[in-house]
Structure 1
Amino acid sequence: MLLKGKQAVFFDVDDTLYDHLAPFRTAVEQAAGADGMFPYEEAYHRLRYYSDTLSAELGGTEAMEAAGRLEWMRSERFRRTLGEFGMELSEQEAAAVQAAYIGCQYRFDMFPGARELIGRLKEAGHVVGLITNGAGAHQQKKIDSMQLEELIPAELQFITGVVGWDKPDRRIFDHVCGLTGVAPEDSCYIGDSWRNDVIGALGAGWTAIWLNHRHQQPETAHKPHHIASSYEELSRLLLG
């Protein structure tokens, strides 16, 4: 059992608490005309790559919103992603895929065992919260769709577009520690993204748990403290 005494456990949202691939697949099928042979999971990982790299180039969520570049980034990541798989889209076509993506992003179920694990962590007396990259209203709609308000109070839901620093910037993790009063060495972060979640948590001195449910390969020489491939495995790791 990893957790002993009172500790803080924070979760990523996209593709950690719910299946982020599902709305991507629906949007690409509906708006771009992809068929069942299209490599959706491979393309999804490229979308995440372009989302991260474009966001970093443009200064993060807050800077993109201030400059009116957020919607451009969202469409551009689709244009570049699908272009790698032989689907050349105009800016207007890429915007249509992004619109379809947004249209189905708030209709989803949490991964099996996710809600139950959060409840068990709360019952055990741990501080449980969320840290998620993205624009405030956009990410809040996802959180609200999961109906987590009874398990995770608003003051423990940290959206980087609101706070001002995007993962992997350690300042978002330091900010959370300052507000919870829990030291980095007593804080765990769970997420699927190697760049944002593993590298971010390690850089802040937190325990990094990589939820590698898509069986990806490490992207750098960084070493997460633990790796889990499902919520069943994660539950055993954390609580025994």
Structure 2
Amino acid sequence: MKTIVFDVDDTIYDQQQPFRNAINSVFPSVKPTDMHELYIRFRFHSDETFPKVMSDEWTLDFMRFYRIDESLKDLGYPAVTTEEGTTFQKIYEDELDNIVMHPEVKKVFDFLKEKNIPMGIITNGPTDHQYKKVKQLQLEQWVPTDNIIISQSTGFQKPEKEIFDLAAKEFSMEAEHTLYVGDSFENDIAGAKNGGWKSLWFNHRLRAIPTNETPTHLHEVTSFDELFPVIRSLFS
């Protein structure tokens, strides 16, 4: 491996914490034992419906309401009111303003910077929303601004081959020598395969491989503590 590119959400920081805080504030009836599965459903509906925003079929506000409403209904909770949906999104965004890079990820970034390994970012989502996270996480201390791609600004999104091809060109990286690190099998691992990249599945939520997918990743890491040793071994 010569170069490395990362996902952002739930890879560089723990996305479940701001989600949990927002749920507890607006939907206190949600059982703690349901929180993990609710988060997984929330991510599923986010990934499933964001293409409708990209194609202008849905507004971003409607997609955000739909994903929390459907996620709660999936687990047998009542339908969400418009007021609850709006309040949840506001609190969730406020919580995202306080995200911090996981210390184990910082170790990885410091190691890669010291080794002069070129780094990049590909993240799905609305441009302004995702760039706020980039700034909050101070990613530009390690990753050049020109090596950060946010899907909405390109017209493509993971797992589409085009966004990986664009990144390889813009970042001046060779696909066959580039490792992509992300938590979503469907978006990150399948996407890296589509682009001809190598991949590391950061499966710290212990998801199963989708039934219609074939494992193509070099490594599967199931905790933040495992991340640094594996990446160090690949780039030493």
Q: TM-score, normalised by structure 2?
A: 0.91
Partner AA of 2:174 in structure 1:
A
| Distance across 1 between alignment mates of 2:181 and 2:193 | 11
Identity %: 31
Q: Give the distance between the partners of 1:153 and 1:113, measured in 2 at CA.
A: 20
CA distance in structure 2 between the aligned counterparts of 1:37 and 1:238, rounded to whole angstroms: 33
Instruction: State the alpha-carbon separation in 1 of the partners of residues 163 and 181 from structure 2.
Output: 15
The residue type equivalent to 1:225 in the other structure is L
The amino acid across from 1:203 in the alignment is: N
Partner of 1:45: 40
SS at match of 1:33: coil
Cα deviation for residue 122 of structure 1 reads 1.9
CA-CA distance at 1:38 after TM superposition = 4.5
**Contact 1:31–1:96 (Cα < 8 Å) also in 2:** yes
- How much has 1:90 moved relative to structure 2? 2.2
RMSD: 1.7
Distance 1:8 1:34, change over 3 A: farther
Aligned to 1:84: 74
Query: What does residue 20 of structure 2 align with?
Result: 25
Q: Which runs of 5+ in 2 are unaligned?
A: none
The structural deviation recorded for 1:36 is: 4.9
Q: What secondary structure does 2:208 align onto? A: coil
Counterpart of 1:55 in structure 2 is 50
Gaps of 5+ in 1: none
Written as runs of structure 1 = structure 2, the 5 A alignment for 1:1-240 is: 3=1, 7-56=2-51, 58=52, 61-64=53-56, 69-88=59-78, 89-220=80-211, 221-223=213-215, 224-240=217-233
Flag the 1:207–1:152 CA change in 2: closer, same or farther, 3 A: same
Contact kept? 1:168, 1:200, Cα under 8 Å: yes
Read off the aligned partner of 2:231 and give its amino acid letter: L
Deviations 1:188-209 (A, max 9, x none): 1000011111111111110011
Corresponding pairs, count: 230
What amino acid is the match of 2:64?
A: R
2:149 partner SS: strand
**For residues 47 and 35 of structure 1, do their structure 2 counterparts lie closer, same or farther at Cα, with a shift above 3 Å needed?**
closer
Contact 1:169–1:200, Cα closer than 8 Å, also in 2 = yes
**1:85-105 CA distance string (max 9 Å, x none):** 232212332222222211211
Match of 2:179, SS state, is strand
Q: State the distance in 2 between where 1:37 and 1:76 align.
A: 22
Deviations 1:127-173 (A, max 9, x none): 11111001111001111111122211110111111122111111110
- Letter of the aligned partner of 1:189 in structure 2? Y
Q: Is the CA contact 1:62–1:162 (under 8 Å) kept in the aligned structure 2?
A: no
What TM-score comes out, normalization by structure 1 length?
0.90
Q: Distance in 1 between matches of 2:29 and 2:176?
A: 46
